[in-house]
Amino acid sequence: MFTLHKKDGNARLGTLKLAHGDVQTPIFMPVGTVGSVKTMVPEDLHKLGAEIILGNTYHLYIRPGLEVIREFGGLHGFVGWNRPILTDSGGFQIFSLANQRKIDETGARFQSHLDGKLIHLTPELAVEIQETLGADIHMVLDECTSHPATYQQAANSMRRSMRWAARSRAARTRPELAQFGIVQGSMYEDLRTESIEALTAMNFEGYSIGGLSVGEPKPDMRRITKHCCDRLPEDKPRYLMGVGTPLDLIESIDAGVDMFDCVMPTRNGRNGTLFTSKGRVNIKNTRYRLEKAPLDENCACYTCQNFSLSYLRHLFMAKEYTAQRLLTLHNLTYYLKLIHDIRAAIAEGTFKDLLAHHQGLWET
């Protein structure tokens, strides 16, 4: 399923062969939580060159629900997207959204944040939901260990996740869809190593690094990412979940990560924080009131090719829907262009130059 083409240091260039087509790595996956990347339509995503998008098991299970998804033969048919989709397992949302959750060995019992309905999400149900969604890549259900955690809390939580991973692996019925295990173990290297050994013994199609970007200091995130990449198998893709800033992506690729998802380009776009070739731009800044230049002179997106900072600021201040869309479009373009630049740099053996440039550009 995964072919590694080239390495430049630890940065990797590869191809994922998935049920709905090939995906080049490194890859950034825009997040379409409930079945749409906010403010975007599939036509936009095609133009942006998005190769794979993310859907959310928890959200889609509680709304619209599997009965609707089945009617359309899966998520692709329902949302009108014919390229690969990755779904997470719902583990993270149980912790961040659900009310009155109770975790035990069987799985998680919780109330839907929409209607209070009781749900018992087991590793087996998470597999069933994701096979019904028909996403090209599935995640096993895991317990996202909260931060900070004592060694014993982290060990217990990780080991339960490993038992759930084994049940998830056993439960699947659609082997044409890839299933990824999720490495846990909080900030403890030996627990991460134990988790990797447990998961690799189950021979997943790929491995996610979970339990990061949950409030820990950046050096911890970098340290654990590096520790995991050094021990994960070379011939399988590595996915760092929920990360991150442009510099997070680049530094993680430098450690050996292949795949990313994050709400940052879409959410920050809607909130008026933009990523540009010259660094961060806050669109609310009064200095842009009369600014005729585009947001980013080096950007080929529709927003930068057609509108001034002044107009974008005006639309944002006036809370116009169009602002959310134009700013999201720019940020996604920035992220996907960055990924293309990174691929080119790895291919040319100049990845470290790109890394150094961005370390100078962004505040760490």
Contacts with a second copy, residue ranges (CB under 8 A): 34-43, 59, 63-64, 67-68, 71-72, 78-80, 270, 289-290, 292, 302, 306-308, 310-311, 314-315, 317-318, 320-326
Q: Which residues are catalytic?
A: 88, 261
CB atoms within 10 A of CB 249: 23
Please give the DSSP secondary-structure letter assigned to residue 156: H
Beta carbon of residue 135, minimum distance to a second copy (angstroms, whole number): 16
Q: How far is the CB of 50 from a second copy (least distance, A)?
A: 14
Q: Is 127 exposed, middle or buried (0-12, 13-18, 19+ CB in 10 A)?
A: buried
Nearer to a second copy, 190 or 320 (CB): 320
SS3 state at 314: helix
Choose between 150 and 285: whose C-beta lies nearer to a second copy. 285
Check residue 292 and report its DSSP letter. -
Choose between 37 and 281: whose C-beta lies nearer to a second copy: 37
Smallest separation, CB 62 to a second copy (Å): 10
In angstroms, the CA 90 to CA 119 distance is 12
**112 phi and psi, to 5 degrees?**
-55, 140
Paired tokens of 173: 């019925």
Nearest-approach distance from CB 28 to a second copy, in angstroms: 20
- Burial (0-12, 13-18, 19+ Cβ within 10 Å), 95: middle
The Cα–Cα gap between 311 and 291 comes to: 8
**Minimum distance of a second copy from residue 136's CB (angstroms):** 19
Q: How many residues does the chain have?
A: 364
Q: How far is the CB of 298 from a second copy (least distance, A)?
A: 19
**β-bridge pairing 273-276 and 2-8:** unpaired
Sheet holding 2-8, edge to edge: 2-8, 11-18, 21-25
Q: Which is nearer to a second copy, 246 or 269 (CB)?
A: 269
**φ, ψ for residue 47, nearest 5 deg:** -65, -35
Cβ nearer to a second copy, comparing 12 with 83:
83
* C-beta of 38 vs 218, nearer to a second copy: 38
Please tell me the distance from the alpha carbon of residue 212 to that of residue 214, in angstroms, as a whole number: 5
Token pair 């961005």 is found at 358
